[in-house]
């Protein structure tokens, strides 16, 4: 496994993040995104739902929760350093990686023309001890993004109606798959871990006990030197070259 990849990104990269819900970018790979933003790369979020089922409170309507979560996501993205946030408003909890959604994601890839595409692992049913069961929307989002990235986005024979819209084929150079059980790349994100935590805290509707969450997130640190005094934080990915 590559623990210190030489990204060789001498020029600013165009980075597209496509995930299911508000807060997914921050929880899954927020420290990496913050690291990239501070290195001068350009980050755009596309979220497939507004997360309007993300509450058990019977007194809040789906529309109000959607409004709240949009605002939280915009605030979190500013902390990370993302330049734009777009939400497709597909039904939360009901994502299916069908052809219609694949076409929509293919359209996004051709519009944004990313160098780097970030999503999550559709095969990861049991992500960790804290994530006892992965949300079906996460898996559906990862599946449809990978299906759109290859071969659809770069092949003119897929979705010819997109050509009629003036959207030429585009293949991202790399896909970075987060929340994966099969990583091949580890990034040291110690310097931006606290930024990740502050961005996560912007999602107030999703965090009933901020103190416990921060305690749990900081406990993920590993000894950073032989004396075990400094902590090192990591985020892991399956890095897939395409271009």
Q: What is the DSSP letter of 152?
A: G
* Mean model confidence pLDDT for the chain: 93
Domains defined for the chain, CATH in brackets? 14-241 (3.40.50.10320)
- Residue 237 has a pLDDT of 98
Phi, psi of 80, deg, nearest 5? -65, -40
Nearest by Cα to 75 from 135, 38, 25: 25
154-175 pLDDT, tens digit each: 999 999 999 999 999 999 999 9
Give the burial class of 211: count Cβ atoms within 10 A of its Cβ; 0-12 exposed, 13-18 middle, 19 or more buried: exposed
* Buried/exposed 56-85: b ≥16 CB within 10 Å, e otherwise: eeeeeeeeebbebbbebbbebbebbbbeeb
pTM for the whole thing?
0.94
When pLDDT is averaged across residues 48-72 and rounded to a whole number, the result is 94
């Amino acid at each position: 496994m590559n623990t210190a990849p030489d990204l060789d990104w001498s020029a600013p990269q165009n980075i597209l993040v496509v995930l299911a819900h508000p807060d997914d970018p921050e929880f899954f790979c927020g420290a990496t995104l913050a690291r990239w933003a501070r290195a001068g790369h350009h980050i755009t979020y596309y979220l497939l739902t507004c997360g309007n089922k993300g509450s058990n409170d019977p007194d809040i309507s789906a529309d109000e929760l959607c409004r709240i979560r949009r605002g939280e996501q915009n605030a979190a993205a500013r902390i990370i350093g993302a330049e734009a946030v777009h939400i497709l408003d597909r039904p939360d909890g009901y994502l299916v990686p069908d052809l219609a959604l694949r076409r929509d994601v293919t359209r996004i890839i051709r519009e944004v023309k990313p160098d780097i595409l970030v999503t999550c692992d559709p095969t990861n049913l049991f992500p960790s001890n804290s994530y006892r069961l992965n949300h079906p929307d996460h898996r559906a989002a990862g599946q449809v993004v990978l299906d759109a990235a290859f071969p659809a986005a770069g092949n003119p024979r897929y979705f010819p109606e997109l050509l009629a819209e003036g959207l030429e084929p585009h293949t991202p150079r790399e896909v970075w798959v987060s929340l994966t059980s099969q990583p091949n790349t580890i990034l040291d994100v110690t310097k931006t871990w606290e930024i990740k935590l502050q961005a996560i805290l912007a999602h107030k509707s999703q965090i009933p006990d901020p103190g416990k969450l921060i305690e749990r997130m900081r406990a993920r640190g590993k000894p950073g030197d032989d004396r075990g005094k400094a902590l090192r934080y990591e985020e892991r990915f399956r890095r897939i070259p395409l271009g």
